[in-house]
Amino acid sequence: MKGFAILDYSGEKCPKCGKPFSSGDDIVVCPICGTPQHRECYDELGHCVNEEKHSDDFVWTKEENQNNDGSSNICKVCGSENADDALFCKRCGSPLENQDTTQGKNAADSDPAGNSTSTPFEFNQMPMGFGSGTFPQAFKLDEKEDMGGVTAGEVAKLVKVNTPYYLSIFKKLKTFGIGRFNFAGFLFTGGWYLYRKQYLKGAIISIIVAITMIVSGLYAGQSYEIFSDVSASVATNELSVNTYEIMQQIMQLPIEKQIIFYLPSIMSIINFGIMLFCGFSANRGYYSFCVKKIKSIKEKNHDSRKTKEEIEKFGGVDTKIALCMLVCYVILQMFPNFLR
């Protein structure tokens, strides 16, 4: 076969990882089609990268490899060739945009999960909140699949970061109406919404959370003083402090002092309630946001090319605001210390 006539593969690119071969590389040549590939790449797949073409009597040639360099979109996870405009691998379903050469190795060693490009307000969540970087093998999604009036490909362009996780969740929401708890939304509340460019909802939630933290910080010291004074008065009459009696004494205090005593606890309960709300509603709300935003862009732009550009321009996450929110969160956490 003419595919075996080339013995020096220097300068040729491995069809699995896309890296050029060098003279010292350990290269494996497929005995069926003659495709050269790094031994490490071959071991990761467990078979030839062009295995799907074996039934067509495919034979690798230098010209074939050069032609493929400019006309194919090679998945770094499984090595399959895809169309230039494909968003997901036709074989394994992994997102083709922003893949790096380490993704395939991570996918082989870890459980399926969200995109590997995580940031301060994102976890690689799949299915319980943590993971690596590809679709589960049972989950395959056509980029033209309807996702509530928009296509999966359009949603992927808007989400950009952690697309496998969110597309799998959106598909379940559309098909079964079942969501999943979002741990990033639970922990970061309004910050997560702002990070995901849901600015109005994120701003409202962040303001409420900030108020609860400030109020709690302002009155935490006074609340502790009230508790200490009541505990001391009860302890002088008995050898041991009875919690029930302490609470009875607090209930007899003036209403102003009772409010001050309970205020930090009330703020903490409100804050935790907001965290639960965000955790349970984040994915469903983000799905609705994506669909509405894409529809809005499509209504304003009748040109499909312009629509695609606008979706890509707005899509992704706001990393700057994520870092800003982290700084603000730390300041609010340390706020009570400044009052002492």
pLDDT in the model for residue 337: 64
Beta strands in 17-142 (DSSP E): 27-29, 36-38, 73-74, 81-82
pLDDT in the model for residue 137: 44
Q: Is the pTM of this model over 0.75?
A: no
Structural domains for the chain? 2-71 (3.30.40), 188-338 (no CATH)
pLDDT in the model for residue 317: 92
**75, 116, 298, 195 alpha-carbon torsion, rounded to 10°:** -170
pLDDT in the model for residue 65: 54
Task: Answer whether 107's CB lies under 8 Å from 133's CB.
Answer: yes
| Residue 304 CA: distances (Å) to CA of 229, 287, 309, 310 | 70, 22, 9, 10
Q: What distance in Å separates the CA atoms of residue 243 and residue 320, rounded to the nearest whole number?
A: 47
Nearest Cα neighbor of 92 from 136, 41, 37 is 136
Tokens 């302490």 found at: 246
Positions in the chain whose pLDDT score sits under 70: 1-7, 62-72, 76-81, 83-141, 235-241, 335-340
Report phi then psi at 110, rounded to 5: -125, 170
Task: Answer whether 303's CB lies under 8 Å from 311's CB.
Answer: no
Give the residues across from 82 on adjacent strands. Answer: 73
Task: Answer whether 99's CB lies under 8 Å from 77's CB.
Answer: yes
